[in-house]
Amino acid sequence: MRSQGAGWFTRITQGMGIAALLWCVTPATVQAQEAADFFRQNCVSCHTIGGGRLTGPDLKNVEGQQDREWLVRFMMNPQAVVNQGDPYAQKLVEEARGVVMPQIVGMTRERAESLLDLIAAESKLESSQFGGTAISDAPFTPEEISQGRRLFLGEQRLANGGPPCISCHTAKHLGGLSGGRLGPDLSRVYERLEGRKNLAAWLGAPATAVMAPIFKKHSIKQEEVLALVAYLEDQTAKGGEDMSVGGLTFLLIGLGGSGLALVAFDLAWRRRFRSARKELVLKSTGRGEEL
């Protein structure tokens, strides 16, 4: 039988062995891979490296424009740097039409440094793996649009198990159906996010508070993204405002409903009040029968 001490010893030496192995083999590669995964999950919805601007600027050779210390500080807390009135940040925000880069969950100084290393390395390549997806300008087919609609409504399930859009979003032309209210109306989102490339990048890696955690686990496949873009483009092409007639009716029904509920509540309350009063009167006078 082995003593506990020996067990510890084996475990420690094993641990050291593995650490040493990682250290010798490829610490830099492991770190680079980690940075690449982090970039794919958190940044590609707004940035390319060499593929042009999306919501945020193209990051190719970003260190040629601004020094590393500034960039690290910015990445760790974009809003704070913008609030300081820094002129370079002001210019970036202006070019992004007022969008300020969100605070990225899990951003640390080391991570920012390794992301900048990654961006520098990718900038040297002829074509970076983060060059963005080329989407053709050809009109979407009716099949793509109707597949997008089915995905939106949940009639066709998303391959990686994400919840259907309609559980949180509505859009104008849903044929009488009304979607969820947690997220914004998407009737004009195609226009709002400025077209195919941006919207596709956005859906490929949603980076906002509510959608990011869900769709990080259940990413939307590229062909599904295209179908959804086709559908949302078609929604915008059909015109109309975000707060659709369907939505308004829904709201009015909702208001009507709460009105009814108030009346019912009031009735119930009055009844309770009366019986309570009756009881009080009974107690104090012993002549409740007269009420």
The minimum distance between CB 127 and ligand HEC, in angstroms, equals 19
**92: contact with ligand HEC by CB under 6 A:** yes
Nearest residue (CB) to ligand HEC, 88 versus 265: 88
Nearest residue (CB) to ligand HEC, 6 versus 99: 99
Can you tell me the distance from the alpha carbon of 4 to that of 2, in angstroms, rounded to the nearest whole number?
A: 7
Stretch that binds ligand HEC, among 37-45, 170-178, 236-244, 264-272 (CB under 6 A): 37-45
Out of 90, 141, 167, 222, the only residue in the binding site for ligand HEC (CB under 6 A) is 167
Nearest to 232 by CA among 152, 287, 291, 162: 152
Can you tell me the distance from the alpha carbon of 48 to that of 119, in angstroms, rounded to the nearest whole number?
A: 10
Out of 50, 131, 163, 240, the only residue in the binding site for ligand HEC (CB under 6 A) is 163
Site string for ligand HEC, 131-160 (x = CB under 6 A): ------------------------------
Nearest residue (CB) to ligand HEC, 121 versus 168: 168
The minimum distance between CB 138 and ligand HEC, in angstroms, equals 21
Stretch that binds ligand HEC, among 19-27, 91-99, 121-129, 252-260 (CB under 6 A): 91-99
State which of positions 174-203 bind ligand HEC (CB under 6 A).
182-184, 186, 189, 192-193, 202-203
State which of positions 42-61 bind ligand HEC (CB under 6 A).
42-43, 45-47, 55-57, 59
The minimum distance between CB 234 and ligand HEC, in angstroms, equals 13
Judge contact between 200 and 133, C-beta under 8 A: yes
The minimum distance between CB 206 and ligand HEC, in angstroms, equals 6
Can you tell me the distance from the alpha carbon of 260 to that of 3, in angstroms, rounded to the nearest whole number?
A: 75
CA distances from 16 to 3, 8, 20, 75 (A): 20, 12, 6, 34
Nearest to 106 by CA among 30, 34, 202: 34
**28: contact with ligand HEC by CB under 6 A:** no
Other beta carbons within 10 angstroms of residue 222's beta carbon come to 13
Dihedral Cα 151, 155, 160, 161, nearest 10 deg: 120
**93: contact with ligand HEC by CB under 6 A:** yes
Residue 129, φ and ψ in degrees, nearest 5? -65, -15
Q: Phi/psi zone of residue 48: left (φ > 0), alpha (ψ -120 to 50 degrees), beta? A: beta
Judge contact between 82 and 89, C-beta under 8 A: yes
The minimum distance between CB 76 and ligand HEC, in angstroms, equals 10
Judge contact between 229 and 149, C-beta under 8 A: no
Nearest to 45 by CA among 196, 202, 189: 202
The minimum distance between CB 80 and ligand HEC, in angstroms, equals 11
Judge contact between 163 and 149, C-beta under 8 A: no
Give me the residues that bind ligand HEC (CB under 6 A), please: 42-43, 45-47, 55-57, 59, 62, 65-66, 71, 74-75, 78, 82, 92-93, 96, 99-102, 104, 115, 162-163, 165, 167-169, 182-184, 186, 189, 192-193, 202-203, 207-211, 214, 220, 228
